[in-house]
Protein backbone atom coordinates (compact mmCIF):
# COMPACT_ATOMS: atom_id res chain seq x y z
CA UNK A 1 0.00 0.00 0.00
CA UNK A 2 1.02 3.58 -0.58
CA UNK A 3 0.73 5.10 2.88
CA UNK A 4 1.95 8.49 4.04
CA UNK A 5 2.99 9.54 7.50
CA UNK A 6 -0.46 11.05 8.20
CA UNK A 7 -2.22 7.73 7.59
CA UNK A 8 -3.61 8.56 4.17
CA UNK A 9 -3.49 5.80 1.56
CA UNK A 10 -3.03 6.66 -2.12
CA UNK A 11 -5.26 4.50 -4.31
CA UNK A 12 -6.01 6.95 -7.14
CA UNK A 13 -3.32 7.41 -9.79
CA UNK A 14 -3.54 10.39 -12.16
CA UNK A 15 -1.45 9.75 -15.26
CA UNK A 16 -0.57 12.62 -17.55
CA UNK A 17 -0.08 11.22 -21.05
CA UNK A 18 1.22 14.43 -22.61
CA UNK A 19 1.88 18.02 -21.62
CA UNK A 20 0.61 19.25 -25.01
CA UNK A 21 -2.82 20.75 -25.45
CA UNK A 22 -4.85 22.08 -28.37
CA UNK A 23 -6.43 24.82 -26.22
CA UNK A 24 -4.77 27.70 -24.40
CA UNK A 25 -7.15 28.26 -21.49
CA UNK A 26 -6.29 31.53 -19.76
CA UNK A 27 -6.15 29.95 -16.27
CA UNK A 28 -3.66 27.37 -17.50
CA UNK A 29 -1.43 28.55 -20.37
CA UNK A 30 -0.22 31.69 -22.09
CA UNK A 31 -1.62 32.37 -25.60
CA UNK A 32 1.60 31.29 -27.29
CA UNK A 33 1.62 27.90 -25.52
CA UNK A 34 4.62 26.49 -23.69
CA UNK A 35 7.87 24.74 -24.51
CA UNK A 36 6.61 21.17 -24.77
CA UNK A 37 8.58 18.29 -23.33
CA UNK A 38 11.02 16.88 -25.89
CA UNK A 39 9.57 13.62 -27.27
CA UNK A 40 12.41 11.40 -25.99
CA UNK A 41 11.61 12.54 -22.44
CA UNK A 42 7.96 11.51 -22.67
CA UNK A 43 7.19 8.01 -21.47
CA UNK A 44 6.36 5.51 -24.20
CA UNK A 45 3.07 3.61 -24.03
CA UNK A 46 4.91 0.51 -22.75
CA UNK A 47 6.60 2.55 -20.02
CA UNK A 48 3.28 4.07 -18.93
CA UNK A 49 1.64 0.66 -18.82
CA UNK A 50 4.53 -0.82 -16.84
CA UNK A 51 4.24 1.87 -14.18
CA UNK A 52 0.47 1.55 -14.04
CA UNK A 53 0.86 -2.23 -13.68
CA UNK A 54 3.27 -1.81 -10.76
CA UNK A 55 0.85 0.65 -9.17
CA UNK A 56 -2.11 -1.67 -9.54
CA UNK A 57 -0.51 -5.06 -8.90
CA UNK A 58 1.93 -4.09 -6.15
CA UNK A 59 0.95 -0.79 -4.61
CA UNK A 60 -2.82 -0.88 -4.22
CA UNK A 61 -3.84 1.60 -6.94
CA UNK A 62 -7.56 1.09 -7.62
CA UNK A 63 -8.40 3.97 -9.93
CA UNK A 64 -6.42 5.25 -12.89
CA UNK A 65 -7.33 8.61 -14.44
CA UNK A 66 -5.68 9.60 -17.73
CA UNK A 67 -5.18 13.30 -18.20
CA UNK A 68 -2.71 15.83 -19.54
CA UNK A 69 -2.20 18.22 -21.34
CA UNK A 70 -4.83 16.78 -23.60
CA UNK A 71 -4.89 12.96 -23.44
CA UNK A 72 -6.81 12.62 -26.73
CA UNK A 73 -3.69 13.95 -28.49
CA UNK A 74 -1.90 10.76 -27.54
CA UNK A 75 -1.96 8.40 -30.55
CA UNK A 76 -1.57 5.22 -28.47
CA UNK A 77 -4.32 6.17 -26.00
CA UNK A 78 -6.58 3.25 -26.93
CA UNK A 79 -3.82 0.67 -26.49
CA UNK A 80 -2.80 2.20 -23.13
CA UNK A 81 -6.41 1.96 -21.91
CA UNK A 82 -6.77 -1.58 -23.27
CA UNK A 83 -3.65 -2.69 -21.40
CA UNK A 84 -4.79 -0.94 -18.21
CA UNK A 85 -8.18 -2.65 -18.39
CA UNK A 86 -6.44 -6.04 -18.64
CA UNK A 87 -4.71 -5.62 -15.26
CA UNK A 88 -5.71 -7.62 -12.21
CA UNK A 89 -7.38 -6.38 -10.13
CA UNK A 90 -8.94 -4.33 -12.89
CA UNK A 91 -8.77 -0.67 -11.90
CA UNK A 92 -11.53 1.86 -12.53
CA UNK A 93 -10.43 3.80 -15.59
CA UNK A 94 -11.40 7.41 -16.18
CA UNK A 95 -10.16 10.32 -18.26
CA UNK A 96 -10.23 14.11 -18.13
CA UNK A 97 -10.37 15.73 -21.56
CA UNK A 98 -11.32 18.94 -23.30
CA UNK A 99 -13.54 16.82 -25.55
CA UNK A 100 -12.03 17.91 -28.88
CA UNK A 101 -12.07 14.82 -31.11
CA UNK A 102 -14.14 12.82 -28.64
CA UNK A 103 -16.99 12.56 -31.13
CA UNK A 104 -14.76 10.33 -33.26
CA UNK A 105 -13.41 8.06 -30.52
CA UNK A 106 -15.91 7.86 -27.63
CA UNK A 107 -17.12 4.38 -28.62
CA UNK A 108 -13.58 3.08 -29.13
CA UNK A 109 -12.56 4.44 -25.72
CA UNK A 110 -15.51 2.73 -24.04
CA UNK A 111 -14.78 -0.52 -25.87
CA UNK A 112 -11.14 -0.32 -24.76
CA UNK A 113 -12.28 -0.16 -21.13
CA UNK A 114 -12.80 3.50 -20.25
CA UNK A 115 -15.41 3.62 -17.48
CA UNK A 116 -15.94 7.32 -16.88
CA UNK A 117 -15.12 10.65 -18.42
CA UNK A 118 -14.83 14.29 -17.35
CA UNK A 119 -15.10 16.89 -20.09
CA UNK A 120 -14.01 20.45 -19.44
CA UNK A 121 -16.50 23.10 -20.53
CA UNK A 122 -16.27 26.65 -19.23
CA UNK A 123 -18.82 28.44 -21.39
CA UNK A 124 -21.68 27.93 -23.81
CA UNK A 125 -20.95 31.14 -25.72
CA UNK A 126 -18.66 30.74 -28.76
CA UNK A 127 -17.14 34.21 -28.35
CA UNK A 128 -16.32 33.57 -24.69
CA UNK A 129 -14.89 30.16 -25.59
CA UNK A 130 -12.63 31.85 -28.17
CA UNK A 131 -11.49 34.43 -25.64
CA UNK A 132 -10.95 32.02 -22.76
CA UNK A 133 -9.33 29.15 -24.67
CA UNK A 134 -7.94 31.21 -27.59
CA UNK A 135 -9.41 28.65 -29.99
CA UNK A 136 -12.73 28.42 -31.83
CA UNK A 137 -13.68 24.88 -30.79
CA UNK A 138 -16.85 25.11 -28.72
CA UNK A 139 -18.88 23.09 -31.27
CA UNK A 140 -16.30 20.28 -31.12
CA UNK A 141 -16.47 20.14 -27.32
CA UNK A 142 -20.28 20.02 -27.33
CA UNK A 143 -20.37 17.27 -29.94
CA UNK A 144 -17.75 15.38 -27.93
CA UNK A 145 -20.00 15.57 -24.88
CA UNK A 146 -22.95 14.24 -26.87
CA UNK A 147 -20.81 11.39 -28.21
CA UNK A 148 -19.58 10.46 -24.73
CA UNK A 149 -23.14 10.21 -23.44
CA UNK A 150 -24.28 8.23 -26.52
CA UNK A 151 -21.39 5.82 -25.97
CA UNK A 152 -22.72 5.16 -22.46
CA UNK A 153 -19.91 6.87 -20.54
CA UNK A 154 -22.57 8.10 -18.12
CA UNK A 155 -22.82 10.03 -15.98
CA UNK A 156 -20.62 12.32 -18.05
CA UNK A 157 -19.03 14.82 -15.70
CA UNK A 158 -18.39 18.37 -16.82
CA UNK A 159 -15.60 20.46 -15.25
CA UNK A 160 -15.97 24.24 -15.20
CA UNK A 161 -13.56 26.90 -13.97
CA UNK A 162 -15.20 30.30 -13.54
CA UNK A 163 -13.14 33.43 -14.13
CA UNK A 164 -14.28 36.81 -12.92
CA UNK A 165 -15.56 39.02 -15.72
CA UNK A 166 -15.12 36.22 -18.26
CA UNK A 167 -17.66 33.46 -17.67
CA UNK A 168 -18.84 33.88 -14.05
CA UNK A 169 -22.27 35.02 -15.28
CA UNK A 170 -22.78 31.62 -16.91
CA UNK A 171 -22.95 29.38 -13.85
CA UNK A 172 -26.74 28.88 -13.95
CA UNK A 173 -26.82 28.49 -17.76
CA UNK A 174 -24.17 25.79 -17.57
CA UNK A 175 -26.12 23.98 -14.89
CA UNK A 176 -29.36 24.17 -16.91
CA UNK A 177 -27.48 22.76 -19.89
CA UNK A 178 -25.99 19.86 -17.92
CA UNK A 179 -29.14 18.98 -15.99
CA UNK A 180 -31.16 18.82 -19.23
CA UNK A 181 -28.70 16.30 -20.68
CA UNK A 182 -28.00 14.22 -17.59
CA UNK A 183 -24.40 15.46 -17.21
CA UNK A 184 -23.02 16.11 -13.74
CA UNK A 185 -21.48 19.57 -13.54
CA UNK A 186 -18.61 20.34 -11.18
CA UNK A 187 -17.25 23.81 -10.63
CA UNK A 188 -13.55 23.96 -9.74
CA UNK A 189 -12.09 26.92 -7.89
CA UNK A 190 -9.28 28.39 -9.91
CA UNK A 191 -5.95 27.32 -8.44
CA UNK A 192 -2.49 28.94 -8.66
CA UNK A 193 -1.25 26.55 -11.33
CA UNK A 194 -1.15 28.75 -14.42
CA UNK A 195 2.12 28.96 -16.33
CA UNK A 196 1.95 32.76 -16.29
CA UNK A 197 1.75 32.92 -12.46
CA UNK A 198 -1.12 35.36 -12.84
CA UNK A 199 -3.48 33.82 -10.25
CA UNK A 200 -4.86 36.30 -7.73
CA UNK A 201 -6.87 35.21 -4.75
CA UNK A 202 -8.99 38.36 -4.97
CA UNK A 203 -10.04 37.47 -8.52
CA UNK A 204 -10.85 33.84 -7.85
CA UNK A 205 -14.54 32.91 -7.82
CA UNK A 206 -14.97 31.11 -4.51
CA UNK A 207 -17.15 28.11 -3.73
CA UNK A 208 -19.43 30.39 -1.67
CA UNK A 209 -19.88 32.69 -4.66
CA UNK A 210 -20.63 29.74 -6.94
CA UNK A 211 -23.27 28.53 -4.49
CA UNK A 212 -24.83 32.01 -4.39
CA UNK A 213 -24.80 32.34 -8.20
CA UNK A 214 -26.55 28.99 -8.63
CA UNK A 215 -29.02 29.68 -5.83
CA UNK A 216 -30.53 32.49 -7.90
CA UNK A 217 -32.08 29.90 -10.19
CA UNK A 218 -31.89 26.56 -8.36
CA UNK A 219 -32.54 25.15 -4.93
CA UNK A 220 -29.43 23.35 -3.78
CA UNK A 221 -29.72 20.93 -0.88
CA UNK A 222 -27.17 18.75 0.90
CA UNK A 223 -26.54 15.45 -0.85
CA UNK A 224 -26.88 13.07 2.07
CA UNK A 225 -27.04 9.94 -0.11
CA UNK A 226 -23.56 10.26 -1.53
CA UNK A 227 -20.67 9.58 0.80
CA UNK A 228 -17.95 12.06 -0.09
CA UNK A 229 -14.96 9.99 1.03
CA UNK A 230 -11.88 11.17 -0.85
CA UNK A 231 -13.92 12.81 -3.64
CA UNK A 232 -12.79 16.40 -4.18
CA UNK A 233 -16.29 17.64 -5.02
CA UNK A 234 -18.85 18.56 -2.42
CA UNK A 235 -22.12 17.65 -4.14
CA UNK A 236 -25.60 19.14 -3.83
CA UNK A 237 -28.98 17.95 -5.08
CA UNK A 238 -30.41 20.31 -7.68
CA UNK A 239 -34.08 21.18 -7.08
CA UNK A 240 -34.50 18.11 -4.87
CA UNK A 241 -32.62 15.76 -7.23
CA UNK A 242 -31.86 13.40 -8.77
CA UNK A 243 -29.65 15.89 -10.64
CA UNK A 244 -26.52 16.89 -8.76
CA UNK A 245 -23.93 19.63 -8.95
CA UNK A 246 -20.47 19.57 -7.41
CA UNK A 247 -18.17 22.28 -6.16
CA UNK A 248 -14.46 21.60 -5.80
CA UNK A 249 -13.27 24.17 -3.27
CA UNK A 250 -9.58 23.33 -3.49
CA UNK A 251 -8.55 26.77 -2.25
CA UNK A 252 -11.19 27.90 0.24
CA UNK A 253 -12.09 24.47 1.69
CA UNK A 254 -9.08 22.22 1.07
CA UNK A 255 -9.70 18.48 1.35
CA UNK A 256 -6.06 17.42 1.71
CA UNK A 257 -6.83 15.37 4.84
CA UNK A 258 -8.83 12.94 2.71
CA UNK A 259 -6.56 13.01 -0.36
CA UNK A 260 -5.96 9.59 -1.91
CA UNK A 261 -4.17 10.73 -5.08
CA UNK A 262 -0.70 10.41 -6.52
CA UNK A 263 0.36 11.78 -9.90
CA UNK A 264 2.64 10.65 -12.69
CA UNK A 265 3.75 13.28 -15.19
CA UNK A 266 4.16 12.56 -18.90
CA UNK A 267 7.94 12.50 -18.42
CA UNK A 268 7.77 9.91 -15.68
CA UNK A 269 8.04 12.06 -12.54
CA UNK A 270 6.00 11.07 -9.53
CA UNK A 271 4.26 13.83 -7.56
CA UNK A 272 2.49 13.20 -4.26
CA UNK A 273 0.49 16.46 -4.57
CA UNK A 274 -0.58 18.87 -7.32
CA UNK A 275 1.39 21.51 -5.42
CA UNK A 276 4.44 19.39 -4.59
CA UNK A 277 7.74 21.19 -5.03
CA UNK A 278 9.71 18.00 -5.53
CA UNK A 279 9.26 14.89 -7.65
CA UNK A 280 10.63 11.35 -7.79
CA UNK A 281 12.14 10.33 -11.10
CA UNK A 282 10.70 6.99 -12.20
CA UNK A 283 11.79 7.44 -15.82
CA UNK A 284 15.44 7.19 -14.92
CA UNK A 285 14.71 3.91 -13.12
CA UNK A 286 12.65 2.60 -16.05
CA UNK A 287 15.45 3.39 -18.47
CA UNK A 288 18.31 2.05 -16.38
CA UNK A 289 17.04 -1.49 -15.98
CA UNK A 290 15.52 -1.13 -12.51
CA UNK A 291 13.33 -3.96 -11.25
CA UNK A 292 9.64 -3.57 -10.43
CA UNK A 293 10.63 -3.76 -6.75
CA UNK A 294 13.10 -0.87 -7.13
CA UNK A 295 10.40 1.23 -8.79
CA UNK A 296 7.83 0.31 -6.16
CA UNK A 297 10.29 1.27 -3.40
CA UNK A 298 10.88 4.75 -4.88
CA UNK A 299 7.14 5.17 -5.32
CA UNK A 300 6.45 4.22 -1.68
CA UNK A 301 9.10 6.66 -0.47
CA UNK A 302 7.55 9.45 -2.56
CA UNK A 303 4.10 8.95 -1.07
CA UNK A 304 5.47 8.46 2.45
CA UNK A 305 6.91 12.00 2.27
CA UNK A 306 3.58 13.64 1.36
CA UNK A 307 2.95 16.86 3.30
CA UNK A 308 -0.26 17.27 5.31
CA UNK A 309 -1.66 19.93 2.98
CA UNK A 310 -1.07 21.88 -0.21
CA UNK A 311 -0.29 25.07 1.71
CA UNK A 312 -2.01 27.48 -0.70
CA UNK A 313 -3.35 29.38 2.27
CA UNK A 314 0.02 29.69 4.04
CA UNK A 315 1.88 32.99 3.66
CA UNK A 316 4.96 30.98 2.65
CA UNK A 317 3.16 29.25 -0.25
CA UNK A 318 5.20 28.94 -3.43
CA UNK A 319 3.55 27.91 -6.68
CA UNK A 320 5.08 24.73 -8.14
CA UNK A 321 7.45 25.16 -11.08
CA UNK A 322 5.31 23.08 -13.40
CA UNK A 323 1.96 24.47 -14.54
CA UNK A 324 -1.21 22.36 -14.42
CA UNK A 325 -0.84 21.24 -18.05
CA UNK A 326 2.59 19.75 -17.32
CA UNK A 327 1.51 18.07 -14.09
CA UNK A 328 -1.78 16.56 -15.18
CA UNK A 329 -5.05 17.92 -13.83
N1 LIG B 1 -6.98 18.90 -21.34
C2 LIG B 1 -7.83 18.20 -20.44
C3 LIG B 1 -9.00 19.07 -20.04
O4 LIG B 1 -9.14 20.15 -20.57
O5 LIG B 1 -9.79 18.62 -19.23
C6 LIG B 1 -7.14 17.62 -19.22
C7 LIG B 1 -6.11 18.47 -18.54
S8 LIG B 1 -6.74 19.90 -17.72
C9 LIG B 1 -5.25 20.50 -16.99
C10 LIG B 1 -7.66 19.18 -16.40
C11 LIG B 1 -8.58 20.08 -15.67
O12 LIG B 1 -7.83 21.03 -14.97
C13 LIG B 1 -9.56 20.85 -16.55
O14 LIG B 1 -10.86 20.63 -16.11
C15 LIG B 1 -9.15 22.28 -16.34
O16 LIG B 1 -10.26 23.15 -16.39
C17 LIG B 1 -8.54 22.23 -14.97
N18 LIG B 1 -7.61 23.31 -14.70
C19 LIG B 1 -6.57 23.72 -15.44
N20 LIG B 1 -5.93 24.76 -14.86
C21 LIG B 1 -6.60 25.01 -13.70
C22 LIG B 1 -6.44 25.96 -12.65
N23 LIG B 1 -5.48 26.87 -12.67
N24 LIG B 1 -7.31 25.91 -11.63
C25 LIG B 1 -8.30 25.00 -11.59
N26 LIG B 1 -8.50 24.07 -12.55
C27 LIG B 1 -7.67 24.09 -13.59
Quote the pLDDT of residue 61.
Answer: 98
The percentage of residues in the chain with a pLDDT greater than 70, rounded to a whole number, is 100
Q: Counting atoms of ligand 1 from 1, which one is nearest the CA of 189?
A: 25
Give the residue, out of 15, 24, 29, 96, with the most ligand 1 atoms within 8 A of its beta carbon, to mutate for a pocket test: 96
Instruction: Phi first, then psi: give them for residue 235, nearest 5 degrees.
Output: -105, 150
Q: How far is the CA of 288 from the centre of ligand 1 (A)?
A: 33
Give per-residue pLDDT as tens, 94-108. 999 999 999 999 999
Give per-residue pLDDT as tens, 259-300. 999 999 999 999 999 999 999 999 999 999 999 999 999 999
Quote the pLDDT of residue 230.
Answer: 85
Give per-residue pLDDT as tens, 183-196. 999 999 999 999 99
For the cut 90, the answer to whether the pLDDT of residue 221 exceeds it is yes
pTM of the model: 0.97
Give per-residue pLDDT as tens, 16-46. 999 999 999 999 999 999 999 999 999 999 9
Quote the pLDDT of residue 88.
Answer: 98
Instruction: Phi first, then psi: give them for residue 3, nearest 5 degrees.
Output: -110, 140
Q: Counting atoms of ligand 1 from 1, which one is nearest the CA of 27?
A: 23
Burial of 155 (C-beta count, 10 Å sphere; 0-12/13-18/19+): middle
Q: Counting atoms of ligand 1 from 1, which one is nearest the CA of 98?
A: 4
Alpha-carbon span 325 to 257, nearest angstrom:
24
Q: How far is the CA of 327 from the centre of ligand 1 (A)?
A: 10
Quote the pLDDT of residue 329.
Answer: 82
**Mean pLDDT within 59-69:** 98
Quote the pLDDT of residue 229.
Answer: 84
Alpha-carbon span 302 to 272, nearest angstrom:
7
Alpha-carbon span 45 to 304, nearest angstrom:
27
pLDDT grade for 148, boundaries at 50, 70 and 90: very high
Burial of 143 (C-beta count, 10 Å sphere; 0-12/13-18/19+): middle
Quote the pLDDT of residue 154.
Answer: 87
Quote the pLDDT of residue 224.
Answer: 83
Amino acid sequence: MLTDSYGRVATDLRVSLTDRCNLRCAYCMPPEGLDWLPTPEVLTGDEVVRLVRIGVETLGIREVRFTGGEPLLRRDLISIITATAALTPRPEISMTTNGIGLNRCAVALRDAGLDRINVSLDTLRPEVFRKLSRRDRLADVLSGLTAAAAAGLMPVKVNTVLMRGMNDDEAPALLHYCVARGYELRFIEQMPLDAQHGWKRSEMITADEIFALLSREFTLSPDSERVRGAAPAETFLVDGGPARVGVIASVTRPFCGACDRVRLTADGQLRNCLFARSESDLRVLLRSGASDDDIAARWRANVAAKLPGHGINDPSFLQPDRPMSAIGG
